[in-house]
Every structure is written in C-alpha cells, then in structure tokens.
Structure 1
Amino acid sequence: MTKLLLTFLFALVSANSYAIDIQGEAYKFSGKINTITLSESGGTINAVGQTGQYGKVWLTYSLKLDNPNTPNQGSFTGRAVAIDENGNRNGASRQGVWERKGSIMHFRSLDDVTDGNQYLCLTEVNLIDDSLEMNFYSVK
C-alpha cells in the first residue's frame, strides 16, 4: 500500500512540475479578418488589429485539416508582426489547434515572441462579421 501511495504522489508531483504557469490578467486583442484563402488541405486567414501592449498587429493562421474524419477541426501554424506607436517591431511564431462550431472558429495557441515573452492565446473568430477577439496570457 505504501508503494502505491508513493507512486501516486510521485506521479502527481511530476505532472505538476511540467504544468503551464499562467501569470496575471489576460491581455486583450481585437481585430478584423482581412482575407481568407482556401486550399485543398485547409486555408489561410489574415487579420489585423490593436492591442495595448504591442500596438498594431498583423496575424496569419495557416490552417490544416489533419483528419478527414473531423472536418471542423485541425491544427495551424502562423506568424504575428506588431508595430507600436514608437516604431518598435516584434514578431511571433504561432502554433496550435482550431475548431469551428457553426460560424464561430476557436483557436488555441502557444506564441513565442521576439521580445522573450511566451503566451497562451485563446481566440474567437466570427466568420459572419469578420471580427476576432483574443485573450492572451503570459506563461513562464
């Protein structure tokens, strides 16, 4: 019984040591879809918007349909470029998963920014009005 309890405690502590630590309140990003380009294997969504921390931001989502049995979800990679009011530029690589429910797409990504920050991004895109809303959280 003691071995079983120790094994359970070790597994619990090990799992927590690799958990993502979300820090602070969410940063907000609001934008609009510029273009959507479709392909046999998925498509590309381009958007532009504003966020207080980085200024004007351009986003690209390169969607893949990974599994033909689940046509309303898949993975994506992407890029982000931002310019603030002082002309400072930052970029980010983006990777994650997406799903579509009706006219709403949900994206969950991990972004690595050139300023050294990493973010967990939760994004909702309305395909009817082309709006994009993102909450992004600092992770360390």
Structure 2
Amino acid sequence: MKFLKTILLTILVTSFSYSQDLIDLSNAFKADFNVDSVTLGVDSNIVNCSGAAIGYENGDYSAVYLTYHFTNQLETDDSGEFTGLVWGQQGENFLRGTLQGVWRRNGQIFELMTLDNINDGNVIFAVGKLNMATRTLKFDAGVVN
C-alpha cells in the first residue's frame, strides 16, 4: 500500500511540474465583456458579448466580439460544452478565432474553460466567469506554449 501511495504521489508531482509550462504567464492578459444578447433554444443557447482584451501579446484589442453556442450533449447536471467565434480589431489589425470549451454552473456563476485557435497562430487558454445577472463575462487568459 505504501508503494502504491509513493507511485501515485510521484505521478501527481510529475504531472504538475510539466503542466506549469503549458501557459506562459508572462503573456497573461485580461478579457472583459458585456453580454449584449441571449437567444434561447430547446437544445442550445446563444450568447453574444462585446468588450476588450487588454494585454494580449499582439497589442490591446479594444473592440472584441464573441458569439457562444452553449449545449449540453451529455445531459449532465449543471455543465456542458460550447463552441463559438471571436472577432477583434486593433487599428488596422484584425483578429479572428474559433472557441471551444466546457462550462459548469457554480451558484449564479457559469465558469468557462476555453481553448481557442486564433488566426495569428496563437492558441489561447482562458478561464472565465459568466454572470448573467450582471451581464458580464470576465476572463483570465494566456497564450499556450
């Protein structure tokens, strides 16, 4: 039993030591949005947001638009998945990307974990909180190495 505990602890520590390099925290940035509209459906819901991504490595994008398509394909309690699109502008530079991730409800907050493919070659991992009562969506994000 002690041997099994030692092996499990070794695996756990090793996985944490390698996972620390997944996100480059020197490229961390904030992305804050307002919920502009919601379209309710029987099997899915669509949420449109607008806001800004400040501190992104290619500059601040003050005009960013998101569309999320929320589903629950496995019919789990208080969780599901989403896909979506992002479009942003910084002067003459335009950013586009696809969004995909999972959501879970924690009280009145919906927590989002997303892995996004961006047309500048970056992949972004972000963790966010969607509050429908305050109509806000706030992300902590970083570029995946």
TM class by shorter-chain length?
Answer: 0.7 to 0.9
The equivalent residue for 1:3 is none
Structure with more strand by fraction: 1
Task: Find the aligned partners of 2:121 and 2:75 in 1 and give their Cα distance.
Answer: 37
1:65 shift after superposition: 1.1
The equivalent residue for 2:89 is 83
* Deviation beyond 6 Å, 4+ runs, structure 1: none
Q: TM-score, normalised by structure 1?
A: 0.81
Alignment of 1:72-111 (within 5 A): 72-84=78-90, 86-111=91-116
The equivalent residue for 2:5 is none
Task: Find the aligned partners of 1:113 and 1:74 in 2 and give their Cα distance.
Answer: 23
Q: Which of 115, 118, 142 is residue 113 of structure 1 equivalent to?
A: 118
The equivalent residue for 1:41 is 43
Task: Find the aligned partners of 1:32 and 1:103 in 2 and give their Cα distance.
Answer: 16
Task: Find the aligned partners of 1:60 and 1:134 in 2 and give their Cα distance.
Answer: 15
Q: TM-score, normalised by structure 2?
A: 0.79
Alignment of 1:1-140 (within 5 A): 19=19, 21-25=22-26, 26-52=28-54, 53-70=60-77, 72-84=78-90, 86-140=91-145
Task: Find the aligned partners of 2:123 and 2:61 in 1 and give their Cα distance.
Answer: 13
Q: Which runs of 5+ in 1 are unaligned?
A: 1-7
Task: Find the aligned partners of 1:80 and 1:102 in 2 and give their Cα distance.
Answer: 27
1:50 shift after superposition: 1.1
Letter in 1 for 2:81: S
Number of residue-to-residue matches in the alignment: 133
Q: Alignment partner of 1:22: what SS?
A: coil
Q: Which runs of 5+ in 2 are unaligned?
A: 1-7, 55-59
1:91 shift after superposition: 0.4
Task: Find the aligned partners of 2:62 and 2:68 in 1 and give their Cα distance.
Answer: 19
For residues 74-101 of structure 1, the C-alpha deviation after alignment (integer angstroms, 9 at most, x for no partner) is: 01111100011x2211101111000112
Task: Find the aligned partners of 2:123 and 2:51 in 1 and give their Cα distance.
Answer: 19
